[in-house]
Structure 1
Amino acid sequence: MQKSLLFKGANRALLLATIAFGANFSVWILFAVLALELQTTLSLSALELGMLFASPMLTGALLRIPAGFLADKYNPKMLFVLQMLTVVPSLLLLPSAHSLADHMLLGLWIGVSGTSFTFGIRYITDWFERSQQGTAMGIFGAGNAGAALTLAAVPSIVEHLGWATIGPIYATGLLLTAFVFLWLAPTRPAQANKVSYTATPLTLKQIVSTLQIWRFSLYYYFVFGSFLALILWLPQYYVNAYGLSAKQAMAFTLFFAATSSMVRALGGWFADRYGGRSVNWTVFWTCLVCLFFLSYPPTSMTIHGVHSDVLLTIEVNVWVFTALIFVIGIAQGFGRASVYKIINDYYPQQMGSVGGFVAAMGALGGCTLPLAFGLVVDGVGIYSACFMLLYGVLAICMIAMFFAHKSDRFQQRLSQAQSHNFLDSE
């Protein structure tokens, strides 16, 4: 009877939390679209544009760590609502920003919306059994589709109402979302509160000193950090590398963001059924193959034949490029779900603190990778150098995962041998 009470209202909680997270995510990446206008009106350099991109990502990443500890200690539903109300004034102030400094300061404030993932993930994990956690977190993570909402809606808003209306419109939407969530989202039963809040807490020092958590953070840095970075980077990549119009580039980026977000729920189901580690390993291999081809720059070679020279040209055209990016996006969606399934397997009662730390490290990719992309492209002198960098990051992830799996198997065999008195445990 107690168990049925504990999970009553779980589907409603998951639905409303996912909608709220989607609304917050659409706010968090708002500068990805606004920057197109600001780059012209403020005459921004490439570095200044990167700094503008990074401002909301930075606070959204760093604040996830304290947000996780708060979510473990206090009611995550109320924290979720307070977080949304905190962001609303920054959106209302957007029309009054005129300089780069003004927009960066507001960007840091808007970045508070990035903590919504930490509060939401902590809220929903109390509603589902362990065998359902991957699916539940995957469905919640589909709120990343809020990025697609911004990519699709903002150009239309600008065309019909002007740039100055974006902030107030988004503020109104987020305020309504906060009140709907407060009114309709179920409050966790007393049993859930008791189970959650009596769990052994982890301090920040313990988390930072745990190599396993850093390894999970590295995985999430790739599957989530590179997802954010590509949303910011792809529009200008399509324009510069393939000569597409801004409208066409935004459409391709919208396709990438939407599909990668929506498959996260399916990725959670796969992680529940086949295990988070197995899904992660498949994701990494899939991305590694795609990044190998994306890293290859347009190349022309002259082959000296018997009778004449043969000119050979190798190039990834825009359609092949889009197909490979699509596959990477799908894999990243699966990977984001599987990483949190793994975290829940090891730290089911510390999803706020541990999950918040991992989410923070992953979100840092959203502000560090675009800057790194710019530096490596300028240094190497070819557009595809950004994918070479991602290839290297992924290779490090796979090496770390391989040795971690090898170590875990050794410890399992050692424990089994000790339990059968094959080895002396002293």
Structure 2
Amino acid sequence: MSRQTTRNVSTKKSDAIARELMDKMIEEQEKNKINETLEEQDNKLLDDLLNKYVNETPKRVIPEFFVKWYPVIDVPSDLKNIYTYYSTKINDFTFDGSDAFNEVILPDKYCHPYFDFDHIESNDQYASVITWLDSLVSEFGQYSIGGYSNDPKICATHNLKYITDATKKISIHVVFYEKRIKQTDIMEIVKKIGNQNTRRFVYDINEFVDDSVYKLKHVSKSSRQIFRHILSNKNYRGKESIYIAGQLCKPNDQPFNQIIQCIQDDSSTDDVISNWSNVIHKLPSLKEKEKEKTNAKRLVDADNGAAEVAGDGKIITKTHNKNIKIDDVDFDDNLIVFKKEQMMGLLNKFETTFENLEKITAPIRYSPHTEEFVKECYTEWYNQRTHNHNVDETINKIMKYFKQDFTNKWFYSIIKHLDSIDQQRV
């Protein structure tokens, strides 16, 4: 065999071996690819199952009852036939432009705790609301939150519906749907303070709560609270609708969770909130705060020698005014309260002129004493001399400005005038 023939045979054998090796490599790669694909599929399936188990919110078992509602928000005051909607069907309600769901909440025993916020103006204020709502969860259970904003950044951050021409910066409705509360309790929680400008509420609830949506007290046959569902527009009778339907902010939430009405069944009250005071606390009134300040000051005075502690534990303030003695003054919970002879002794330090009645002794009209007591002392003191005007009429006019004030400001205000008078008499 020639050298050329030998070379050809060797080349053919090498090619065959190479092809065989290549085929085996391809076959092995295919096996590995199949194994990797199966492993990836198994991992993906496992991840899906885990995600579903961890993230899926258990669906709420909806109690069966009829929810009172009306399609427009300006419900007639003489409405006799209130609409009802079966509770289990509310999640299927079509909240589109023409359909609106407004709850008609009548005075009853229970409802779900709910709050309306219409005056939030910034992201920080919104965050303060969420922080407060989260602080209630331990007693109130989970809550549904929904709403809208005209600020696209706030909408993106908090999953609110963006409504470009909305007049309110942020508007949200919150319903704690897992538990019931007595209507009397929810009205107590949002109770306002009268004649005080420093804060609005008796309890430490969030400052942006709208307290105008709790007309739950039975005062007449037409007593009721109308509350628009957050997914509804504001529809009126014979007027153009306001398109402010919001959206639910939490994943897996459902429209029924925004319903405030609830069953009134007392057969089981495990879901009724009874310890709301664990998370909502009563704030001290201005009078109580003033009393705390007075007590603190008197304790400091006692430490500094400006006051003495009597045998019964009461703190008695000293005075440098030599013509008034207050050792025998009664202190009602640390308030300086005069007996009649003491008040007359104080008034007699001043001449019975109209100027002294109107101005110098004015602090007495803003003291802890009763109106009857002050009027009696004034009359007896002012009648000690003859006046060109009727004493009773004058006293009555002056007493129109009486306002009982449970502080000691009156005492410290009036004794300021004693030094100058005493100096003139010395």
- TM category (shorter chain) comes to under 0.3
Please, what TM-score do these two structures have when normalized by structure 1? 0.22
- Bigger helix fraction: 1
User: Which of these two proteins has the greater Rg computed from alpha carbons?
Assistant: 2
TM-score, normalised to structure 2's length?
A: 0.22
Q: Which has the higher contact order (CA 8 A, sep 6+)?
A: 1
Q: Which has the higher strand share?
A: 2
